[in-house]
Amino acid sequence: MNTKIKLLLIVALMLIGLGIATIVNISLNFREYSIKSATEKATATASIVKDGLTAHMVNGIMDKRDYFLNQIYTNHSDIKALWIIRSDKVKKQFGEGFKNEVIRDALDTQVLKTGKTVQNIKENADGITLRISIPYNATSTGTPNCLKCHNVQDGDTLGAISMEFDITHMRNDGMLTILKILGINFIFIIIALMLINHYVSPYMKLFSNMQEGIKKAYRGDFTHKFKTTVSGDARTITEQLNTLFTKMQETFGDIKHNLATFIPQGCVSSHDPLYEAKTIINELSDIYKFKKTIELDSSKDIVYNRIIDVLSNKFEFEHFAFYEINTKNNHRELIYISQDNSICSSETEEDAMLCRAYRTKTDIISTEFINLCQECSCEDVEYICIPFDINDDYSLVISITTKNPSDIARINKHIPSIKNYLEAAKPVIESRILTNKLRETSLKDAMTGLYNRRFLEEFIDKFVKQAERRKESYAVLMLDIDFFKKVNDTYGHDVGDAVIAQLGKVIRESVRESDLAIRYGGEEFVVLLQNATREGAMRVAKLINESFAALSFDVGAGESIQKTISIGIAMFPEDAETIWKCIKLADTALYVAKTTGRNKIVEYTKEMSQNDNLR
């Protein structure tokens, strides 16, 4: 049902309701008027009868009253019956009267008893009858004086006149009047509806036209032209809407195209382009805030944590793993995992080429094919793996898992948005990687690949605080190449550099990843062994000493040389409360090794500190 029909129906119902209310009101008032009119006529008739009977009494012809009453009854067609009744006091004084002058019903009894007019309506299918009894009360005032003729007191009821009036014709007149009113109302309703239809239809057409245009605009189509035959404000509004839609059509396409240059197609799936534009703008805003935040982060690890937070909080992924891959050696490092175990086999950590997502550079969705990734060792789990290249040296892989296959569609929908965040983070991650490389270069010795003394000076306090919190200990080894100056003086610095480089290699191969090996300066090296016992420190020292002593160095002309090292050992915090002091004590033990024959390992003892020559 369209709006115009609804409006006409509502107006028609209102007019019909008003007509019904009017008819009901008129019907009630007409009935009341009919009864009131009949009552007034009865009162007038009773007054005439009273005056006539009084005249009969004065003239002594009271016995002729029956003729008078019959004339009144006969000359009024609407009077069906008329009779008079006497009260007991009048009967006692003047007798019973004529035989028809008797009490006929309860109304006669009531009127004689109360002295008040009593009436009753009798209504049936044949007609309506008004039954009324009007009393004659004695009065001593006026003419004649009732008390002169009657043995009664002032106000006593002398009798009453009873009548029955036929008021059926009044009902018929009322029905005819109601029908006329009903006909007039019907004609009025028809005319009103025709006028409303004539004047409202153009506005309804305009309204429908506007609805159609708005529906098109909701779908991003602003080509609709609004039309109307109405003049005045409606035409002005129509022209303004056409102007607005024309401008929207000219500009909205460019806006959507420009937004799409920032967010690739497919990030937002909606048939409503306005909603799509809003979603893209919100996405751009979130990515912009994300990028501005990570640009101020000091390290690559913090940026990674930001990405992990986005995956957890924005996309609400419950189970996922975040990997960094070194493309130079194909080593894959697990940065974060939200559950205990990775779904990938352990071999993938050492050989990233086993990872299908990294190898193919494509998104891997487990629901696309049975057992799609051969390295996935988890059953009853669906997954999506997203690869992303940072630069020639590093790549990322995000592995999202779920036990509910229906979640894959939701995860897949977020892939473009995830890549948008990774694209925003890419230059920042590259910058932090470069910074780390530069930083690492400044903190490492180029010849040996070990940390340099600057690293020790900058980070040793952090290691000490960490060791104190964790109740850790360190064994400090101070190493020095025996008679190294002679190598440089005799064979040149190239041979000397080779000796130093080989010692650095021996040290790297002899210690754990948790240990620190540092080129302290020249031919001196410092090794910090984490949580090492004296026996363990001595074992490592011997390994380094023996491995280095077994090396031969080509010095040219078919000759080769072998070199030895001396090592001093001190324990932190057993021998000293600070690392720097412990290094000093290890240097003291090294000095003892040098002065007592070289090519030996000496552990620090307190007696060494008591020797003034060793301080």
**CATH number, domain at 113?**
3.30.450
The overall average pLDDT reported for the chain is: 84
Question: Is residue 290 assigned to a domain?
Answer: no
User: For the residues 259-288, what does the mean pLDDT come to?
Assistant: 69
CATH number of the domain bearing residue 403: 3.30.450.80
CB 329 within 8 A of CB 317: no
CB 338 within 8 A of CB 310: no
Q: What's the total number of domains in the chain?
A: 3
Q: Give me the active site residues, please.
A: 523
CB 15 within 8 A of CB 188: yes
The answer, yes or no, to whether residue 4 has pLDDT greater than 80, is no
Distance from C-alpha of 176 to C-alpha of 116, rounded to nearest angstrom? 35
User: Is 492 in the same domain as 545?
Assistant: yes
For residue 261, the model assigns a pLDDT of 61
Q: Residue 86's beta-bridge partner residues?
A: 159
Question: Is residue 350 assigned to a domain?
Answer: yes
* CB atoms inside a 10 Å sphere around CB 222: 19
User: Is 349 in the same domain as 404?
Assistant: yes
Domain end call among 400, 432, 464:
432
Question: Is residue 194 assigned to a domain?
Answer: no
For residue 271, the model assigns a pLDDT of 59
Location of structure tokens 């010692």: 503
User: Is 456 in the same domain as 517?
Assistant: yes
As a dihedral over the C-alpha atoms of residue 390, residue 395, residue 398, residue 399, rounded to 10 degrees, the angle is: 160
Name the more confident of 565 and 267.
565
User: Is 390 in the same domain as 486?
Assistant: no
As a dihedral over the C-alpha atoms of residue 308, residue 309, residue 312, residue 315, rounded to 10 degrees, the angle is: -100
Quick one: what percent of the chain has pLDDT higher than 70? 93
Q: What is the pLDDT of residues 196-241, one digit of tens each?
A: 777 777 777 777 777 887 887 777 777 788 787 777 877 888 888 8
Spatial strand order in the sheet of 128-137 = 79-86, 157-166, 128-137, 118-123
Q: Which of the residue ranges 90-99, 292-301, 306-315, 510-519 would you say has the lowest mean pLDDT? A: 90-99
User: For the residues 120-139, what does the mean pLDDT come to?
Assistant: 83
The DSSP-derived string for 433-448 is: HHHHHHHHHHHB-TTT
Q: Characterise 449 by phi-psi region: left (phi > 0), alpha (psi -120 to 50), beta (else).
A: left
Helices (H) and strands (E) in the chain, counts: 18, 17
Quick one: what percent of the chain has pLDDT higher than 90? 30
User: Is 370 in the same domain as 507?
Assistant: no
Question: Is residue 181 assigned to a domain?
Answer: no
User: Is 400 in the same domain as 510?
Assistant: no
Location of structure tokens 């008390």: 147
User: For the residues 580-599, what does the mean pLDDT come to?
Assistant: 93
Name the more confident of 161 and 222.
161
Q: What is the pLDDT of residues 484-510, one digit of tens each?
A: 999 999 899 999 999 999 999 999 999
User: Is 464 in the same domain as 425?
Assistant: no
The answer, yes or no, to whether residue 179 has pLDDT greater than 90, is no
Which residues, 6 or more positions from 141, have their beta carbon under 8 angstroms from its beta carbon? none
Q: What is the pLDDT of residues 302-359, one digit of tens each?
A: 999 999 999 999 999 989 999 999 998 889 999 999 876 788 888 888 888 989 999 9
For residue 359, the model assigns a pLDDT of 92
Question: Is residue 273 assigned to a domain?
Answer: no
Q: Residue 130's beta-bridge partner residues?
A: 121, 165
User: For the residues 247-258, what does the mean pLDDT come to?
Assistant: 69
Location of structure tokens 């690949």: 449
475's tokens: 């064994």
Give the domain extent around 405.
306-432
